[in-house]
């Protein structure tokens, strides 16, 4: 099996669910305590052994590229002021030139199209796709867990987690065939099914390991829901010829593309941060 060394982060979306905050700031740059949301997703990829990250960007997303670049004036000022701790932290967050690519999705044609824009970077090898709206808080990164499973079984893997059955109509869920521990053979996906019709309560979480044939399918994939090129449509076509697994990871996901999910992510990470943990306890006690 070819190892997974490249990750695609589609960051071209408008962030309409968190307007007006994202009118001039990329949604991926909204802060979660002391760093932007995108940093948590990049850290997850690096923790899993990813060697190259391709950011698929759009208009007004230059702040993301600037963030992962060198900031010479800032670093020199910190060095002069002997602020070595924060200087080292900034340097660790910087991606080496060989470890990142920024490519432009020139038209907002959907998630599937955004992933297809990274085809050249994939070099005909399997890739990980991480949706930057989703931050997953876990002891071992979600993608690291998935890659361990991939190294055993290969194929294509989709991260899932269980939700209350009453809530399945809010999500895309998988159709399971057979379970072996955390790995579940699957034969389909259903978007926001009625509770009575749902094949499972395992929602798709926004982390994928996909074989390179997905790019050929995306190239001729027609518009789907919302008149956009959908990644799930191409995955369902690939499912006809290749093995697909769902992986029930350990961790908690937060949908930072929504206002409630963003607030939950900030609260959860602030509760663990040494500078804010006690404050969170006091605030929670005073509010409740």
Residue 239: pLDDT band with limits 50, 70, 90: very high
Q: What is the pLDDT of residue 107?
A: 82
d(CA 115, CA 231): 8
* Mean of per-residue pLDDT scores for the chain: 90
CATH number for the region 6-287 comes to: 3.90.550.10
Q: DSSP per residue over 15-38, as a string?
A: -GGGTTTTSSS-GGGSEETTEEHH
* 156 pLDDT above the threshold of 90: yes
Q: What is the pLDDT of residues 262-284, one digit of tens each?
A: 999 999 999 999 999 999 888 88
**Domain layout of the chain by residue ranges:** 6-287
Task: Please answer whether residues 256 and 133 qualify as being in contact, where contact means their C-beta atoms are separated by less than 8 angstroms.
Answer: yes
Q: Is the peptide bond before 20 cis (omega within 30 degrees of 0)?
A: yes
Residue 95: pLDDT band with limits 50, 70, 90: confident
d(CA 265, CA 267): 5
* 288 pLDDT above the threshold of 70: no
Residue whose tokens read 């978007």: 191
Q: Hey, what's the torsion of the CAs at 24, 208, 39, 7, to 10 degrees?
A: -100
């Amino acid at each position: 099996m070819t190892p997974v060394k490249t990750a695609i982060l589609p960051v071209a979306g408008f962030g309409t669910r968190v307007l007006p905050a994202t009118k001039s700031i990329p949604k991926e740059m909204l802060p979660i305590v002391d760093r932007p949301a995108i940093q948590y997703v990049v850290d997850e990829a690096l923790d899993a052994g990813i060697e190259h990250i391709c950011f698929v960007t759009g208009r007004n997303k230059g702040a993301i590229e600037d963030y992962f670049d060198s900031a010479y004036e800032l670093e020199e000022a910190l060095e002069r002021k002997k602020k070595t701790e924060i200087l080292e932290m900034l340097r660790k967050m910087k991606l080496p030139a060989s470890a990142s690519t920024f490519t432009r999705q020139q038209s907002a044609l959907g998630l599937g199209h955004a992933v297809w824009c990274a085809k050249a970077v994939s070099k005909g090898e399997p890739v990980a796709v991480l949706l930057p709206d989703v931050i997953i808080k876990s002891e071992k990164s979600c993608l690291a867990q998935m890659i361990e499973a991939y190294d055993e079984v290969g194929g294509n893997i989709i991260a899932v987690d269980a939700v209350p059955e009453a809530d399945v109509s809010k999500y895309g869920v998988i159709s399971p065939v057979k379970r072996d521990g955390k790995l579940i053979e699957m034969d389909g996906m259903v978007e926001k099914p009625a509770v009575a019709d749902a094949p499972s309560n395992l929602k798709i979480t926004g982390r994928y390991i996909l074989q390179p044939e997905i790019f050929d399918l995306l190239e001729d994939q027609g518009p789907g829901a919302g008149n956009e090129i959908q990644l799930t449509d191409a995955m369902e076509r690939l499912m006809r010829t290749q093995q697909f697994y769902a992986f029930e990871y350990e961790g908690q996901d937060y949908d930072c593309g929504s206002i409630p999910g963003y607030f939950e992510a900030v609260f959860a990470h602030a509760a663990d941060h040494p500078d804010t943990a006690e404050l969170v306890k006091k605030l929670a006690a005073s509010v409740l």
